[in-house]
Amino acid sequence: MRELSEDEMLHGRAPELQMARAAALMRRLRQPDGCPWDREQTHDSIISNLVEECYETIDAIRSRDWLHLREELGDVLLQVLFHAQMASETPEEGFTIDDVARELADKLVRRHPHVFGEAAAGNAAEVLSVWDAVKRREHAIEDKPYLHDVGKGLPALLRAFKLTKKVAKVGFDWPDHAGVLDKIREETREVEETLSLPDDAPQVAEELGDLLFTVVNLCRRRKVDPELALDAANRKFERRFNALERLLQERGCRLEQATPEQLESAWQSVKTAEQHA
């Protein structure tokens, strides 16, 4: 990216300047006379910011709040610019946002030989197969285990989803949805067998983990992202519990004073009201 003048950096409005402008502003904030907070950050110190901004972007998409989505995508872009700027400041890292963009563009060309080359892919499944083959060649992992590095660094739920998708590509899967449901019942029975054990018994966590892993498989087969499905369930629970609290207040009962029977009655009332709304 070319260097911008001070006026372009602060006030430039031309569409073609905006990426360069954002990068220049980030660079300016990291200068000795820039922002004290921005200057003291490291790659490690802003990891949580990157995670948070990604989830807030997902929230905007699920809420169909497109104006908010534009803002949140900008916040994700800020994290990319921030990390690239920090990398450009140290010889051992030594790359810039231009290098990041170049590597991405080169990768898009390499991994779409069905668009920019001679390969053929007539549907989304074939595209993924081509992408995976190119990726394995790029990383020289044809001779490594099939699950080498799959989902590395992801939260456990998302990594389970990735792992099961990967092995399903080579036929390691149930023949139908009913087979997965049978496995869920089997894992549920094994969880039941651990109920008499103390909470810290290894089998408790192991069997619960097996049950969760199998449920993720059913999500995959039904083309449901388990992370998004669980997020939706969280939202539904929060919405209903807030309604439960309001209903108890209308009945002259404080939440912390309610009996189990009153809580259950209010919960069922809330669910019924939602179903008939």
Extents of the domains making up the chain: 6-95, 145-224, 228-275
pLDDT at 142: 60
pTM of the model: 0.63
Give 185: exposed, middle or buried? Use CB within 10 Å, 0-12, 13-18, 19+. exposed
Residue 132 and residue 147 in contact, taking contact as beta carbons nearer than 8 Å: no
CA 64-69-71 angle, 5° bins: 150
Angle between helix axes 156-168 and 226-250 (nearest 10 degrees) is 140
**What is d(CA 190, CA 196) in angstroms, rounded to the nearest whole number?**
12
pLDDT at 141: 57
Cβ neighbours of 208 (radius 10 Å):
14
- Name the residue among 153, 19, 17, 5 with its Cα closest to residue 78: 19
Asked whether the domain spanning 145-224 has the same topology as the one spanning 6-95, the reply is yes
Residue 72 and residue 53 in contact, taking contact as beta carbons nearer than 8 Å: yes
Residue 126 and residue 134 in contact, taking contact as beta carbons nearer than 8 Å: no
Place of tokens 């950050």: 41
213: its two tokens? 């892993």
Each residue's pLDDT expressed in tens, for the chain with a length of 277 residues: 667 888 888 888 888 889 999 999 999 999 999 999 999 999 999 998 998 999 899 889 988 999 999 999 999 999 999 999 999 999 888 899 999 999 999 999 998 998 998 888 888 888 888 887 787 777 765 667 888 778 888 889 999 999 999 899 889 999 999 999 999 999 999 999 999 999 999 999 999 999 999 999 999 999 999 988 998 899 899 999 999 999 999 999 999 999 999 999 999 999 999 988 7
CATH code reported for the domain at 6-95: 1.10.287.1080
- Asked: is 145-224 a CATH 1.10.287.1080 domain? The reply is yes
